[in-house]
Amino acid sequence: MERWATTLRSNESELLARFPGPIYLVDEEWRLAFISEEGAALLRRPADELIGRTMWESYPDLRGTIVERELTRARDEQIPVQFENRYEPLDTWFAVSATPFQHWLLVAFHDITVQKRAEARSAELAAEQAAMARISAAVARRSPPHRLFAQVADEAARLQGVDGGSVVQFTGADRVRVVGVSTRHPSPLLVVTGDQVDDEGIFDELRATGEPVLVRADDKEHGARLRAAGRVAWLQVPIYVEGKLWGALGLTSLRADAFDEASIGRQRDLAELLSVAIGNADAHERLARMAATDPVSGLANHRVFHARLREEAADASRRSRPLTLAVFDLDRFRDANDLHGHLAGDAILAEVGERLTEFAAPGQLLARIGGDEFALIMPGWTPSIARPVVERACAAIGASPFGEHRTALTASAGLADLASAGHGELLFACADGALYWAKLNGRDLVCTFEPSIVHELSPTDRAETLLRRKTLAGITALARAIDAKDPTTSRHSERVARLVEQLARACGWEERRIRLLKEAALVHDVGKIGIPDAILLQTGRLTAEQYEVIKRHAALGADIVDGVLLPEQVQWVRSHHERPDGRGYPDGLGAAEISSGGALMSIADTLDVMTVSRPYSRPLPLDQAVAECERLVGAQFMPEAAIALRTLYRAGALEDWDVPQPD
């Protein structure tokens, strides 16, 4: 036992103790050399009893799971690993990271249960929206009532995960007609005959209150009927038509806990949608238009677009006529949406639709197919005829800013024709692939699909790039959350990213590398996730020991983005605190060793720190901050970085730098 207790130096133990969450340090034989207070609490045993024991003695149920496999890989290959695991005994999700540390393995657990539950809720919401969309489409198609009511009963039962559903119409004070039943799991409580039957008082409470009613197996009046049918819970939700009680949507379950407030709310929504279906012909026409029209732009929606594209492709193939498709996407629209809000974003999309409409010829279909993407179907046109029109349409989008915020945007577009695609089913994929190529190669471009770019647009390449972007988006969100912990650093990473983009452009960088540098700058401080809040949020000057902890964030940030960003980007993140006099960190590089991207990121980071208020220092005016950066050339900053900063300042490009940016 003493051998394990004395293996760590006291300062190492103190440093490990500062890590948030459960932390464990194990040797190559899985014996615990250190355990944090949170780790001991998780195991519900004093730390002294655990030191020297193996992890698997404490967690026998983790043997043979992903935890053992990944930790073994980290130990054997001496590489850091990160993964997620649900610990069933506690019904808790953890993000687990394991990092080789000297001759030990440092294992950290972070509770992500809240995040996982939020993801599950998002999936539930997506299922609700999909059910609503299917019912809306059935209403718009004017499906026969018996089919529509059966579909509603099916969707309601599926959405709730219960065994039966039905729709009943109230035809008198105590009379009902069952007009729809879930086809997969019919409810045995009422028989579908289409005839009016006595409801035997089972809807009396709903009729009296007009509110949802939950009948359970222990109900004195109707519980026996429920039990006889082999059910333990029956939810009744009222259906109103033109303000009057029309009937009820009913769901039965074999589980007593099947219905809660959230589920009752979901069924209310379905009942409301059903009331529309039961309404007059005007309601049907209104829903038909809604089902075919994008509500933001007023253009055709994606459903109408794909149906029309199939029709036009079949007709073009049959008649040997040309058919060209253009797909448009706004460049960096998400930034504008995040900056000014979704209402402003919707206004931009509506205006984009108006500008594109001017370039749609008679017989063509312009549609908004999702997000900031639009498409134009051009029957009878070849790419050579279509391309000049598409280029003018993109130019019209970039010609003048949008909305009250004067947002400047550009657009990229991809073109493909039926002859190049080879088949109507591939036409959209080819146009979308050409658009993807245009976005990857600088944006504000129009690209015509050619077989020579097929390899670049292979499904594997697309999937890998999409996965990388999703992972990077998560890391960027984490960096923003770290900035937001302290009001004085809110949006710090985004301001640094904007400035390094300007600096790199002033240095003559090509656009592709400018985008890579901005991408790295957005996550340059993500390593601060490993800094305790007590240090990160300290209002006074840091002690020498605290500063040493802070200095670890550059290397840790590089480790976090490694494998997501390119190697050069990882090096920029790692070196954004290096100095030409060799006094920087984490590697103490000299002037000749500091990358140009790291040098630009360093001066941008420092300028933001100097010009934004901190509890321990007053902000400097921009002119003084620029002068201070010039004074520190050769010591803290590289000459080319300071020259670029001065160039921007003299050109007036930084005049709004010290004006607070909107959240």
Q: Which three-class secondary structure state does DSSP give residue 134?
A: helix
Domains in the chain: how many in total?
Answer: 4
Q: Is residue 256 part of a domain?
A: yes
Determine the average pLDDT of the residues in 304-314.
Answer: 90
Q: Is residue 657 part of a domain?
A: no
Please report, for the domain that includes residue 354, its CATH number: 3.30.70.270
Using the 3D structure, point to which of 429, 456, 483 is the last residue of a domain. 456
- Do residues 443 and 587 both lie within one domain? no
Q: Is residue 658 part of a domain?
A: no
Percent of residues, the chain, with pLDDT higher than 90: 24
The residue range of the domain holding 203 is 118-288
Query: Is the pLDDT score of 192 beyond 80?
Result: no
Element (H, E) at 251: strand 244-253
- Do residues 623 and 475 both lie within one domain? yes
Query: Is the pLDDT score of 535 beyond 70?
Result: yes
- Do residues 444 and 498 both lie within one domain? no
Nearest CA-CA partner of 522 in 561, 487, 564, 476 = 476
171 vs 632: which has the higher pLDDT: 632
Q: If pLDDT is split at 50, 70 and 90, which confidence band does 209 have?
A: very high
pLDDT in tens, 557-604: 888 888 778 889 999 999 999 999 999 999 999 999 999 999 999 999
Q: Is residue 656 part of a domain?
A: no
Highest mean pLDDT among 33-37, 218-222, 270-274, 406-410: 406-410
- Do residues 469 and 395 both lie within one domain? no
- Do residues 411 and 341 both lie within one domain? yes
- Do residues 230 and 281 both lie within one domain? yes
Nearest CA-CA partner of 66 in 96, 37, 24 = 96
- Strands (E) in 452-568, as ranges, are none
Cα 318 vs. chain centroid, distance in angstroms?
42
Q: Is residue 660 part of a domain?
A: no
Using the 3D structure, point to which of 417, 439, 456 is the last residue of a domain. 456
- Do residues 447 and 475 both lie within one domain? no
Q: If pLDDT is split at 50, 70 and 90, which confidence band does 660 have?
A: very low
- Do residues 159 and 176 both lie within one domain? yes
With tokens 């939700």, the residue in question is 237
Q: Is residue 655 part of a domain?
A: no
Cβ–Cβ under 8 Å, residues 227 and 217: yes
Q: If pLDDT is split at 50, 70 and 90, which confidence band does 49 have?
A: confident
Using the 3D structure, point to which of 231, 261, 288 is the last residue of a domain. 288
147 vs 486: which has the higher pLDDT: 147
- Do residues 283 and 299 both lie within one domain? no
Query: Is the pLDDT score of 330 beyond 70?
Result: yes
- Strands (E) in 558-656, as ranges, are none
The dihedral sign for the CA sequence 484, 490, 496, 497:
positive
Q: Is residue 663 part of a domain?
A: no
Question: What is each CA distance from 533 to 21, 109, 190, 265, in whole angstroms?
Answer: 12, 17, 61, 39
- Do residues 39 and 175 both lie within one domain? no
Q: Is residue 553 part of a domain?
A: yes
Query: Is the pLDDT score of 437 beyond 90?
Result: no
Please report, for the domain that includes residue 283, its CATH number: 3.30.450.40
- Do residues 33 and 158 both lie within one domain? no
pLDDT in tens, 119-152: 776 666 666 667 666 766 666 666 666 677 777 7
Which of 5-14, 229-238, 398-407, 443-452 has the least mean pLDDT?
5-14
User: CA 440 to CA 409: how far, in whole Å?
Assistant: 17
- Do residues 130 and 107 both lie within one domain? no
With tokens 């985008």, the residue in question is 515
Query: Is the pLDDT score of 84 beyond 80?
Result: yes
